[in-house]
Structure 1
Amino acid sequence: MALSAEDKANVRSFWENIRGDIDEIGREALERTFLTFPSTKIYFPDFDLSPGSDQVRDQGSKVIIALSDAVDNMDDLEDALDALAELHAFRLRVDPINFRFLTHGMLVSMSSRYPEDFTPAVHSSMDKFLTSVSEVLTSKYR
Structure 2
Amino acid sequence: MVLSADATMVLLAAGLIFLLALLLGVWKYRQMAVSAEHVAHPYVDIAHRAALLYSFATLLLAAFVELSDWPPPVDLAAAGIVIFFFVAAIGSYVYHGWRRDTDNQRRHPVRGTGLFMVALMVGEIGGFAVLLAGFVRAQLW
TM-score by length of 1: 0.29
> Larger RCO: Structure 1 or Structure 2 (Cα < 8 Å, ≥ 6 residues apart)?
1
TM-score by length of 2: 0.29
